[in-house]
């Protein structure tokens, strides 16, 4: 007999990871539900771009309101919950620290408390962040590395991580966190520096000139491909016992190299088109951060397949396709 169809509930379905995770779960036969603060007003543009808008069921839910969270979970009766919601910009978190903390830490606590209250066998994935580690130095961060958050966003994500660990250990919930390093795609929000770079490269290539202003080009990051990272999220909830995992490529590159890769997709020299703007510097910065996904390889069978240069190239080509009114087929996954 065929296995019963599973139901997944994605808090934060309208974001980059929510879109790619929806695609993955639908391909595996799940019924997929997602939330937005106002589902009737939201455009769910990423779901539309991925051709999924009519294949998921959406619900209006305010994650900072416990009653709203509880009602949605009770209505959907999911087998799995993926918490990808919250204010996701490190830069914006310095301007909106309270909103950031509430949308991440309070929201996560509400979901956990709802799961404890309902006492249903629901598996819960929480989106952690490599920002929690702060500067990793020349040693790749893993699951045993200490947290040294350097932004309100990282503080909120660290809080949510320990909330999940506490509920897992105290109440026996199947709850885990994925500590994901930077992962990009053509549907990354435009405020993120990677999308800003690739959009500028495509525009400059089309127009025959121009510049883009960036902050600190010397910062080094571990950049991966978002469609691969949601595979790890799903795999974490298929294990016999809940565990936290670092998800990363294990490679680190300066932002200037990301810019070089994006501009080289059009045969351009990035140095001729990138200007440094001190006003774009963060109050505190992570200068060096990369991770080790050795545990994920061993226990999940997961490894990153796409590296930074290819990520930048695909994103740049997708931006050019948008500008030219061409389909993004072959560039989204």
Structural contact between residues 236 and 179, judged by C-beta atoms closer than 8 angstroms: no
> Helix, strand, coil % (nearest 5) of the chain?
45, 15, 40
Q: How confident is the model at residue 99 (pLDDT cuts 50, 70, 90)?
A: very high
Positions of E strands within the chain: 7-11, 31-36, 57-60, 80-83, 123-127, 174-180, 183-184, 212-214, 220-221, 224-225, 245-247, 253-254, 274-276
Q: Is the pLDDT of residue 2 over 70?
A: no
pLDDT tens string 47-88: 999 999 999 999 999 999 999 999 999 999 999 999 999 998
CB 105 within 8 A of CB 113: no
Residue 31: per-residue pLDDT: 98
Per-residue confidence band for 258, with pLDDT thresholds at 50, 70 and 90: very high
What stretch of H or E contains 281?
A: none
What mean pLDDT, rounded, does the chain reach?
95
For the segment 161-219, what is each residue's pLDDT rounded down to a tens digit?
999 999 999 999 999 999 999 999 999 999 999 999 999 999 999 999 999 999 999 99
Q: Which residue of the set 20, 30, 153, 167 is catalytic?
A: 153
Pair 203, 265: CB distance under 8 Å: no
Catalytic residue among 80, 93, 130, 131: 131
Catalytic annotation on 153? Answer: yes
pLDDT for the residue 287: 85
Q: Which residue has the tokens 């606590």?
A: 109
Distance CA 276, CA 37 (A): 37
Torsion over CA: 271, 274, 276, 280 (sign): negative
Q: How far apart are CA 123 and CA 209, in angstroms?
A: 51
Instruction: Choose among 32, 30, 40: nearest CA to 11.
Output: 32
* Domains recognised in the chain with CATH numbers: 7-184+223-247 (3.40.50.720)
Local confidence band at 279 (pLDDT 50, 70, 90 cut-offs): confident
Answer yes or no: 171 catalytic.
Answer: no
Residues sharing a CB contact under 8 Å with residue 207, sequence separation 6 or more, in sequence order:
none
CA distances 86 to 107, 114, 124, Å, are 8, 17, 16
Catalytic residue (one of 14, 36, 85, 129): 129
170 is catalytic: no
Distance CA 131, CA 111 (A): 22
Vertex 60 angle, CA 54 and 65, to 5°: 155
Residue with tokens 């250990």: 169
């Amino acid at each position: 007999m065929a296995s019963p169809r599973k139901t997944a509930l994605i808090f934060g379905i309208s974001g980059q990871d929510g879109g790619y995770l929806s695609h993955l779960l639908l391909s595996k036969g799940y019924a997929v539900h997602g939330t937005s603060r106002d589902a009737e007003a939201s455009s769910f543009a990423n779901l539309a771009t991925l051709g999924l808008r009519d294949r998921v069921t959406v619900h209006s839910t305010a994650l900072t309101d416990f009653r709203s969270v509880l009602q949605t979970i009770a209505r959907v009766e999911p087998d799995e919950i993926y918490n990808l919601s919250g204010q996701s910009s490190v830069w914006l978190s310095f301007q909106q620290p309270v909103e950031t903390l509430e949308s991440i830490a309070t929201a996560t606590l509400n979901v956990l408390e709802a799961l404890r209250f309902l006492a249903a066998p629901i598996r819960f994935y929480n989106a952690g962040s490599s920002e929690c580690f702060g500067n990793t130095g020349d040693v790749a961060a893993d699951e045993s590395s200490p947290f040294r958050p350097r932004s309100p966003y990282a503080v909120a994500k660290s809080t949510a991580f320990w909330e999940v660990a506490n509920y897992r250990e105290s109440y026996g919930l199947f709850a885990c966190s994925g500590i994901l390093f930077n992962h990009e795609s053509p549907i990354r929000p435009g405020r993120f520096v990677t999308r800003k770079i690739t959009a500028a490269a495509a525009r400059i290539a089309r127009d025959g000139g121009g510049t883009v202003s960036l902050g600190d080009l010397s910062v080094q990051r571990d950049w991966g491909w978002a469609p691969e990272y949601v595979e790890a999220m799903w795999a974490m909830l298929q294990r016999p016992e809940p565990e936290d995992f670092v998800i990363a490529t294990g490679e680190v590159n300066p932002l200037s190299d990301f810019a070089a890769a994006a501009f080289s997709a059009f045969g351009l020299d990035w140095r001729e088109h990138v200007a440094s703007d001190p006003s774009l510097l963060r109050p505190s910065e992570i200068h060096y951060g990369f991770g080790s996904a050795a545990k994920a390889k061993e226990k999940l069978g997961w490894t990153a397949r796409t590296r930074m240069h290819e990520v930048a190239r695909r994103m740049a080509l997708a931006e050019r396709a948008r500008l030219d009114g061409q389909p993004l087929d072959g560039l989204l996954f």
